[in-house]
Structure 1
Amino acid sequence: MASKPLYVVIAVAGIAAASAAAWWYQHRPTTAPDATSGSTTSAPASSASGGANRAPVVEVARVEMTRLTDDAQAVGSLRSRQSVMLRPEVSGRVTRINFRDGERVRRGQLLVQLDDQLPLAQVQQARAELSIARANHKRNQDLVGQGFISQRSVDESAANLQVAEAKLALAEATAARLKIVAPFDGITGIRTVNVGDYLKDGADIVNIEDLDALFVDFRLPERFQGKLQPGRQALVQIDALPGRRWTAVVQAIDPLVDANGRSIGIRGCIDNRQLQLRPGMFARVTAVFGERDHAMVVPEEAIVPQGNRVFVYRLADGPDQDSKTAQRVEVKVGLRRPGQVEIVQGLKAGDMVVTAGQQRIQRDGMPVRMMDSGRPGSGASQVAGAGPAPADPASGAASAPRRVLASQVSEAAPPVASGSRPEHVAAGPNPCNVAKK
């Protein structure tokens, strides 16, 4: 029992000795043979150079100038500029149909005729009564001048004449209601009636659509109410017609904000004289508020937010050609796009900013090194604008692709086809810029 404390003391001493030996092995001074004397001396210069090589490696990108568009995306639906469902005001039987389905019609054109034999007979009767009333009134006027009748008889005949005229107007109006005409220029839909059908008042006959101009109705959050004004443009894309886009002119903005969604209704007009679009189509709308041709942008990875402030690390000249100095700069950001952020204040075009490795920068003004161009994902390959990064000869794998800005994409990508085809251009003024009749 007395030897147990002795074992504990020996074990503790052994552990302490092993720890001391390990510490000495890790912190032993490095020596190098002297070229002249052959003796081993310490190399403080090597340790100094090793401290310089321990500068963190970061990825960088340049501040680029590009064109930015201030816009907002929304979804909407296409509507006809004018649309109506023709319905009879009185009951009657269809005797004639003067249009074909999908045919263009003109304003005032007779489309459907209901049976008007009885109303026309009433019109003839009213005309006969009006003729008698006129003759009586004229005769009474002659007699009263000769003193054969009183003025009262003349007044009664004048009232009877007015009643006859009113009966004739009523009979003609009743007969006219049996003729259904086009209220405006447009294209008819598919009719639901045939000759011989008996229609009650209010029954659907056919719809007429004015397709020369289409309205696109969409909604935007209320925060955009001060940016969008009538006369501005919006780009419209239709899922049913991919790869094409149309330009809509904002016609009106609803003064009432929807209390449920806190959004405002907006109506734009699209020139559709080529009849490529149809009412009811689903539309993706990009409302354009403004454009800036010389906007400075940086990759969004370069942004370092801290509370309500935004910083980036800008690289300045370092102590040698292989290193740079990282300076933390407060910036003011503007528009944001996928992968890009606009810098309004704090940087200038051509500055280098850190896009990866900000957590390695421990203090402002710390030396850093940019990633070599021969390594995958290097900062030099991202800054350079010519082609993808070369493949690593050791591994045979291709390097990470360089960062491509929006301005470079717009120049390389093929243009999107516009809404109008060059082989046919509709004549006449733009229906979205003229007053509706």
Structure 2
Amino acid sequence: MASKIIYAAVAVAGIALASGAAWWYQKPKAPGANPSPTAARPAAAGGSGKPVTVEAAKVEVVRLVDDAQAVGSLRSRRSVVLRPEVSGRITQLNFIDGQRVRKGQVLVQFDDQLPLAQVQQSQAELSIAQANQKRNQELVAQNFVSQRSLDESAANLQVAQAKLSLAKATAARLKIVAPFDGIVGIRVVNPGDYLKDGADIVNIEDIDALFVDFRLPERFQSKVKRGQTAVLDIDALPGRRFVAQIQAIDPLIDANGRSVGIRGCIDNRQLQLRPGMFARANTVFSVRETARVIPEEAIVPQGNRQFVIKLLDGPDPQTRSTKRVEVKVGIRSPGKVEILEGLEAGDTVVAAGQQRVQRDGTVVSVVQIGERQAGQAIAPAGGAARPASTVNTVAFVPALPGPNPCGVVSVEAPVRGVTPPSRTAPERKPAATRDPA
């Protein structure tokens, strides 16, 4: 019992000693040593302390391209693989691999001896039927035979004509002709081969005009229109660019990738491009010559609203004052964002250190002003930045004179926001004056 009392006394003494030590540690060393309110005031609130340091950038006016980049493949305008409709043995191949052929040219001839013999037989039967029909017509006119005999001979004549047409059609199916103008590929058969119906013989490609098929995200479906242009970079042909005209837009958006299919047409009469090539398509929606841009990190989002911290003149030449401004953004490019409303060219905004500015009127010190360096070009939206010295190293392939094989597609006006071209109203004639009489 005595030991328990001793342990309790020791515990109480320890607690009292710890409380006294804590009180002594927190007690001010000298009365009135508390810092003054002015000294405790943060420098950002306008006190006598050191101003907040931030990085700033100016609003620049640049040429900004509203476009979208995608990858696609080149396809022939018309492509077909020749296949026989009936089985047979090849007797002639009237083309050379890689040769240009014309529409209607006979390319492959199968053994047609039996069908030609059937054609001759049908022609003989037709001659007999025609003679019988003519003879019965004369006899009916003289009342030597009945009308029934004339009707039977007329039916036999029609049957003979049908047999001849069938024999000719069977013989024609043993000749394979070119369905359109193009270039034949590499054949996989030789004269003497026996082919079954549906076997591959050779492919024909019409490459005077090529299609480029690519897909864009669904957010661009309201911007892309028929008649717009797309600039193509071909990895197999570095240093050259081709222009494609958008001819078709798939009305169905892919539910898996949420993208819309686009098809453009390229004038390929110089035969520099081949079907199956890989292409990088850059679809141009619009070009803004005087776009105001700032660094992307200068934007301070709050919910659905966008803000920037604008720098104004400070209390002295070495400092600036801050003001929070709401802006409306437009096109975004890597590292840059377009400002549509809220800022003017030449204004300065905080590019880094926004978290140090708590309220408007904060005095800050600018340690660096981000300016676009010489020789650096603003990248198009959705693309990569390219130095100005390398922009002109890529040359566009000139078009050949004459009609464009892709045809002419007029640019469609957007559904909203664009007024359709005005049409000249027909001249109205003055109304005739009515005679009061």
Normalising by the smaller structure, the TM-score range is 0.7 to 0.9
> Which whole-Å CA distance do the structure 2 matches of 1:17 and 1:120 have between them?
120
Percent identical pairs in the alignment equals: 65
| Contact 1:245-1:416 at 8 Å conserved across structures | no
- Is residue 79 of structure 2 the alignment partner of residue 83 of structure 1? yes
Give the letter aligned to residue 348 of structure 1.
E
Name the counterpart of 1:415: 392
Unpaired runs of at least 5, structure 2: 1-5, 7-12, 37-42, 410-437
Residue type of the alignment partner of 1:262:
R
Alignment of 1:52-71 (within 5 A): 54-71=50-67
Paired AA for residue 52 in structure 2: P
TM-score by length of 1: 0.79
* Contact persistence 1:94–1:198 (CA under 8 A): yes
Where do 1:10-409 residues align within 5 Å?
Answer: 12=21, 20=29, 54-371=50-367, 378-379=368-369, 382-383=370-371, 405-406=378-379
Q: 1:209 to 1:254 in 2, by over 3 A?
A: same
The C-alpha deviation readout for 1:89-130, integer Å capped at 9, x for no partner, is 111111110111111111111111111111111111111211
In structure 2, the CA distance between the partners of 1:149 and 1:362, relative to structure 1 (3 Å rule), is same
CA gap 1:229/1:17 in 2 versus in 1, 3 angstroms: closer
Q: Equivalents in 1 of 2:307, 2:35: separation in Å?
A: 39
Report runs of 4+ in structure 1 exceeding 6 Å deviation. Answer: none
Ranked by relative contact order (alpha carbons within 8 Å, sequence separation 6 or more), the top structure is 2
Could you tell me which runs of 5 or more consecutive residues in structure 1 were left unpaired when the two chains were aligned. 29-46, 372-377, 388-402
CA distance in 1, matches of 2:183, 2:49: 78
Deviation at 1:214, TM superposition (A): 1.4
2:400 to 413, 426, 437: 426
How many residue pairs get aligned? The number is: 387
CA distance in 2, matches of 1:90, 1:384: 70
Equivalent residues of 2:310, 2:323 under 8 A apart = yes
Which has the higher mean CA deviation after the structures are superposed, 231-240 or 295-304? 231-240
Distance in 2 (CA, whole Å) between partners of 1:383 and 1:216 is: 39
Cα deviation, residue 246, structure 1? 2.2
Whole-Å separation in 1 of the counterparts to 2:396 and 2:147: 75
| Separation in 2, partners of 1:256, 1:386 | 45
Letter in structure 1 aligned against 2:389: A
TM-score (norm 2): 0.79
Cα displacement (A) at 1:417 = 2.5
| 1:40 alignment counterpart | none
Counterpart Cα distance in 2 of 1:264 and 1:419: 27
Report the CA distance shift for 1:121/1:340 in structure 2 as closer, same or farther (over 3 A): same
